[in-house]
Chain A
């Protein structure tokens, strides 16, 4: 178990370092950020001073070595834009995304298990066909479009929900719904598929022969054995949830890490880009380990 975790962690740390290196050089190639931070009519001198002040006048490999040295001392650099620690900026935004993502993935998984199981219980029924179509629509809908059409209908047209921002519970409805769409759509299909094969397996036939109630067979026996693939897919979806968060947060003005990331990429706020990537990648890495552990819980045969 311990050795497994160690191996897993070292792989992940290598990946994160590779990613940070890649992004470091890519972002530095995007050009001089001074143009974005100084007024258009600044003098060349002022630009040179800005570069010196922020260490951007050094050759890029020196900048990189400096970055690694600071990283070892847990110094993640200063935000060019916000005049404060880049890591502080990233850590302030992260919980906002985490809250949204946890709510969205929990709700969509729970809902998908329910809908998928019921659909698999009566394959070919009206419910099954509607569920299949709805899940396909969910998986196919462009999230940005659903978001703006949602604002158009529910906020601008009917005035039932606030347009954007955070605050009351009503602010949660649209972002959560949009973020849930794709995971829900994909998970329903996974649950339905695995349940179908589980229900066709011999032990379910035995249970049925013993005269156990239908509900108990579906939710007690078949579901437990279908959860493994669902957990795998849900874990993969958590990574792509960050994709959704970028879109959803930038449309709904949600002050999370997705919006921060896109803003800081556009603003060439290098230290913040690096910090947000570090935070996101670490979170994904922890999540992956958690999923592996969850496997062990769900399937007693798995031992690390």
Chain B
């Protein structure tokens, strides 16, 4: 079933890891973004082990504790929320949910969208047209509203949230995959395989999919930031993740009522979302520049150009 073969390197990135790092060092902004993301990912992975149960322990007598005070311990440095739980600990635990949901949604939409795109591109049967029309319907309508309606029907839960986010992002993978297949299926090696009597499923999986995959992976990296933003917006509107689970978006929603009295409850998680998506965008921009032979010189001669 798996179409991910290990021997494929993303075609967009030239050279080995060391060369890559050398390029990264030249662009200080991209380096900062990479470091920030690394810290956030490490926190998300090791976080729950680091902070223990601090994120859910009640401190009703420390409600809305102001930030920048170490009196109650370093964990309270960003303040406490409406139930007196340290915001820093909740940011760390929330990162896990935020990233987990986004990663699951991106992976699901890449897998399903890519598969449908392969089918729609290779076959010209009625279902290919149906797939394309459905993608049109999803594309032609604001994704947030579609998500709202579907979440209202299915009820908000993590699984449904992942499904909805995946569905709204799917057309992008579908269309890209289809466009690539349309071009690839006319190539010599596909015709050769067909002439040798290979079944369509085999041609798609063995010959076409491996060539489409790198493009889809590149798109998914860029899409990750968009999905984080969509998930936050849904959780902010109250239709995403439900208590006692939480993501950064839900934390902002939680602090919305306390803007005038305890700004920090909504401020920090929002800042975390922004810095994360910003870092992702900076890095993908950097990667795009790197991948474009006409643009790569900018990174190589950055010092000169900056003058």
Contacts and interface: CB of A to CB of B under 8 A. Distances in A.
Given A142-B274, A144-B232, A148-B256, A239 B29 contact: no
A161 interface: no
A112 interface: no
B193 interface: no
Interface residues of A, number: 51
B145 A243 contact: yes
Contacts of B143: 240, 243
Q: Closest 4 CB pairs between A and B?
A: A145-B270, A124-B305, A242-B142, A140-B277
A110 interface: no
6 contacts: A123-B305, A140-B277, A142-B249, A240-B142, A265-B152, A284-B141
Main secondary structure of the interface of A (DSSP, over half): helix
B256 A136 contact: no
B149 A265 contact: yes
A281 B145 contact: no
A246 B232 contact: no
Nearest to B138: A19
Interface string B200-211: 000000000000
A280 B142 contact: yes
A27 B153 contact: yes
B233 interface: yes
Interface in B68-118: none
Contacts of B225: 140
A19 B148 contact: no
Interface of B: 29, 133-134, 136-137, 140-145, 148-150, 152-153, 225, 229, 232-233, 236-237, 249, 252, 256, 259-260, 263, 266-267, 270-271, 273-274, 277-278, 280-282, 285, 294, 298, 302, 305-306
Main secondary structure of the interface of B (DSSP, over half): helix
A3 B135 CA distance: 24
A280 B252 CA distance: 29
Given A15-B136, A284-B140, A23 B270 contact: no
Contacts of A149: 266-267, 270
B144 A243 contact: yes
Nearest to A18: B137
Contacts of A94: none
Given A145-B273, A242-B142, A243-B142, A133 B29 contact: yes
Contacts of B273: 142, 145
Contacts of A233: none
